Chain A
Amino acid sequence: MASVKIVLPGDIIDTRREEDTTQQESNVEDEAAVIRLGPGLVQSSEAVSAVTAGVLHSNSETNRWWVAGNKRRYVAAVGEPVVGVVVARHGEGYRVDIGSAHDALLPHLAFEGATKRNKPNLAVGTVVYGRVVVANSVMDPEIECYNSNTGKSEGYGELSEGFMFKCSLGLARRLIDTKAPVLAALGNGVPFEVAVGVNGRVWVNAGSVATTILVANAIRNSEYLDAKQCRQMVKELLEKQ
């Protein structure tokens, strides 16, 4: 991608690429290529138009197009890791607040090794790390606290102690990439555990309350800082300790 293309809602997207025009004469099958639209794009009659503002991305191998933009309100999508808070217990499961318009359902048995006789007993207010299983516009989302294919928890489940705070969705996505500079810089200075949900919620647990707050503040501060500034900011915070 040579130049960065920023689109606004209503912009018509030209999904042909330079390579296509030369190939069209030689390879007739390519003319009717299927274009897959990701977030931020919809098809209006014959054309593709953007519906959110952001950077237009495309993947030439899979012919997928999408718009990447930052926002704060989470909309659940299948397969995403999320951090939530239990707000209610029902017959079939827990109601978990994951920041989407409707609270998610977490079935009682959606934990590693859970059976009818042996299932975890979570209190209201418990922080959990789960994976979105069902997410569409017409149903309430559903999450599970283990990988239902392998049966292992793989890091999902109840998060005890520690502290959960909110951040923007863009920052959360950057943190999920484990090379995120703020996490690397903090890791060099203090031991801590972190669970990042793409729903803009981050859970942190370090040895003491002061250290936990320090890590939380460092992550919050890194929203608009680049790698070098992050390292500087973390250094200053650790020195002040």
Chain B
Amino acid sequence: LNRADGSAQFSAGNTSVVSGIYGPVEAKVYEEKLDRAVVEVKFRPDIGAPTTKDKWMESAIRNTFEREILAHLHPRTLVQIVIQLREGDGSVDSAAINATSLALVDAGIPLKCMITAATCAVLSDDTTVVDPTQEEIDAARSTHTFAFASGSSTGPLYVDSRGDFTMDEYNHCYDLCALATERVLAFMRTAIEGKVTKEAKISAA
């Protein structure tokens, strides 16, 4: 994105999400916080106008990132995260979280850690699928999305579980998602290293 301070696109299967970051910019006087930056999230669906589901997603993503952005370094400012869903085929919330993580890094906004997310679905035949498609989610008995902080041994930053499930199924999904997010983190690290190396080479040349 040309005009954004930072941007990233994250795709998993057919699901593709673009995240744009604007900030730290001046916050409106009635919105600003005196000791920290305000984090605002806008989520736009692929088709149609935003609905309450999208508003819920905005609030969920804001809660996840608000604690990890070092907002106290930029009081009285606004960090605006704009997420556009380009194509949705299940696991949209984890793709949105991953795209936003990368975009915040691109914008140079200070973060306590990288946040990576993965979605898992328990199907009617008791198998579990990571990164389910929309079809799999519609047929599943329960779906779970977890987001973890990189390098942290504390629990997940974001948990969304829907459907009927047992604690065993929940724990199994938790473990699967924890493994999946590690792989996502490795992928992000490679992507960021590629970009930084390219920039560093040009500076050194």
Does residue B47 face the partner (Cβ distance < 8 Å to A)? Answer: no
Report the separation of the CA atoms of residues A40 and B150 in the bound assembly, to the nearest whole angstrom: 17
Number of A-B contacts (CB under 8 A): 103
**Quick check: B151 and A72 within 8 Å, CB to CB?**
no
Q: Which residues of B contact A9 (CB under 8 A)?
A: 105, 110-114, 150
Tell me if A101 and B76 are in contact (CB < 8 A): yes
Chain B's closest residue to A138 (CB) is B75
* A70 partner, pick from B152, B188, B199, beta carbons under 8 A: B199
One of A15-23, A49-57, A106-114 contacting the partner: A49-57
Bound CA span A69–B106, Å = 9
B193–A6 CB distance below 8 A: yes
Q: Decide: B5 and A6 in contact? CB cutoff 8 A.
A: no
Within the complex, what minimum Cβ distance (angstroms) separates B153 from chain A? 12
By a CB distance below 8 angstroms, the chain B residues around A12 are: 151
Tell whether, in the assembled complex, residue A4 and residue B197 are in contact, meaning their CB atoms are under 8 Å apart. Answer: yes
Partner of B111, one of A4, A51, A71, A101: A51
CA distance A68 to B108 in the complex (A): 10
Kindly state whether residue B77 has any CB partner on chain A within 8 Å: yes
Query: Taking the nearest CB of chain B, how far is it from the CB of A231, in angstroms?
Result: 12
B168-205 vs A: 1/0 string, CB under 8 Å? 00000000000000000000110011001111111101
Question: Contact: B196 with A73, CB < 8 Å?
Answer: no
B24 in contact (CB, < 8 A)? yes
CA distance A49 to B150 in the complex (A): 12
In contact, A72 and B5 (Cβ under 8 angstroms): yes
| A–B pairs, 13, beta carbons within 8 Å | A8-B105, A10-B149, A52-B105, A53-B196, A69-B108, A70-B108, A71-B6, A72-B5, A73-B107, A73-B108, A102-B26, A137-B72, A174-B203
Q: How far is the CB of B22 from chain A (nearest CB, A)?
A: 8
**Interfacial chain B residues near A173, Cβ < 8 Å:** 203
B107-A51 in contact (CB<8A): no
Interface residues of A (CB under 8 A from B): 4, 6, 8-12, 40, 42, 44, 49, 51-55, 68-73, 75, 101-102, 137-138, 170, 173-174, 181, 223-227
- Minimum CB–CB distance for B4 against chain A, Å: 8
Contacts of A71 in B (CB 8 A): 5-6, 106-108
Partner of A10, one of B74, B77, B151, B197: B151
Inter-subunit contact B107/A6 (CB<8 Å): no
A32 → chain B, closest Cβ, in Å?
27
For B25, give its contact among A51, A101, A223 (CB under 8 Å). Answer: A101
Q: From known contacts A6-B196, A6-B197, A10-B113, infer whether A102 and B76 are also in contact, taking CB-CB under 8 Å.
A: yes
The answer to whether B74 and A73 touch across the interface, beta carbons within 8 angstroms, is no
Let me know if B112 and A72 touch, CB within 8 A: no
User: A52 vs B74: C-alpha distance in the bound complex, in angstroms?
Assistant: 14
Contact status A10-B70, CB under 8 Å: no
Residues 128 to 159 of chain B near chain A (Cβ within 8 Å): 149-152
The CA-CA distance from A11 to B114 in the complex, in Å, is 9
- Besides the contacts A10-B152, A75-B74, what 7 more A-B pairs have beta carbons closer than 8 Å? A4-B200, A10-B151, A55-B200, A69-B108, A72-B107, A170-B203, A174-B202
The answer, among A8, A44, A49, A73, for a CB contact under 8 Å with B188, is A8
List residues of chain B with CB within 8 A of the CB of A55.
196, 200
Contact across chains for B196 and A52 when beta carbons are under 8 A apart: no
Is B23 in the interface zone, CB < 8 Å from A?
A: yes
Cα of A181 to Cα of B205 in the assembled complex, Å: 9
B5: A residues at CB distance < 8 A = 71-73
Binary contact readout B73-103 vs A (1 if CB under 8 angstroms, 0 otherwise): 1111110000000000000000000000000
Interchain CA distance A214-B22 in the complex, whole Å: 30
The answer on a CB contact under 8 Å between A11 and B151 is yes
A181 / chain B contacts, CB cutoff of 8 Å: 205
Q: Are B73 and A137 in contact (CB under 8 A)?
A: yes
